[in-house]
Amino acid sequence: MEEVIWVANLSFWYPDGQRALTDVNLTIYQGETVALIGPNGAGKSTLLLHLNGLLRTNGEVKIFGRPIDDKNLRWTRSRVALVFQNPDDQLFSPTVFDDVAFGPLNMGYSEEEVWQRVKTALGLVGMAGCEKRLPHHLSLGEKKRVAIATVLSMSPEILLIDEPTSNLDPRGKWSLISLLRGLAGTKVVVSHDLELVKALCRRVIVLDQGRVVADGATDDILADKPFLAAHGLAPGEAAEKA
């Protein structure tokens, strides 16, 4: 199987000294859909930011065998698309159309192709016909959908998606799960929603305090309730006391 994402001995501190990742090692193969789970502050979003070069490393991350460096950054960004946890970090244009068209325009597609891609991507996330709306006027769930459309319009080979269903209503959540399931390519999905993880991912990586504490089959990891509780992923003692 082809190695698509390769991370070796990755540690990272934010400039204020906050340690976010410690000696992370992982390999993700072509066509996998992998869940990245862990408690708040575990380092999940920080890890995703390293996988498309928004946070840079010294060769500890490779995409299709190429280190993310100055030379490969553009190449990497055309293959790896990231949906941020917070849609306000993704949407910056005056209209929904401009936001969703941004990627395809940068990739050099014709005007006709860009229109088609925007229309298709908005349709996929249930936002058809919203091209002229103002992104900052949308509800949180609508923003999340448009943020997802901004990357779907690029048909990326690798999709990194941070909390895709937070703020989506149940119908929106399940239609997104089925949409993601139908997408080709390699996907890394960060989520606190274990229902989504079960439905979408055969493999789970658990991060806690910046370290990988488990990497294996979803069925095995989600069946281990004491392990989940120990890493803040199941109700645990607090629920018993309540």
Q: Which residues bind Mg ion (CB under 5 A)?
A: 44-45, 85
Binding footprint of ligand ATP, residue count (CB under 6 A): 13
The listed partner (Mg ion, ligand ATP, none) that binds 9, CB under 5 to 8 Å by sort, is none
163 φψ region: left (φ > 0), alpha (ψ -120 to 50), beta (else):
left
Nearest distance, CB of residue 41 and Mg ion, angstroms: 8
Dmax (CA) of the chain: 60
Contact between 165 and ligand ATP by CB under 6 A: the answer reads no
| Secondary structure of residue 153 in the 3-state scheme | coil
Cβ–Cβ under 8 Å, residues 185 and 156: yes
**Chain residues 82-121 in contact with ligand ATP, contact rule CB under 6 A:** 85
Nearest distance, CB of residue 122 and ligand ATP, angstroms: 26
Helix (H) or strand (E) holding 191: none
CA–CA separation, 238 and 242 (whole Å): 6
Contact between 237 and ligand ATP by CB under 6 A: the answer reads no
Nearest distance, CB of residue 29 and Mg ion, angstroms: 24
Give whichever of 119 and 211 is closer to ligand ATP, judged by the CB atom.
211
DSSP letters spanning 8-77: EEEEEE-TTS-EEEEEEEEEEETT-EEEEE-STTSSHHHHHHHHTTSS--SS-EEETTEE-STTTHHHHH
Contact between 20 and ligand ATP by CB under 6 A: the answer reads yes
Contact between 160 and ligand ATP by CB under 6 A: the answer reads no
Which residue from 43, 104, 135, 164 is in contact with ligand ATP, where contact means CB under 6 A?
A: 43
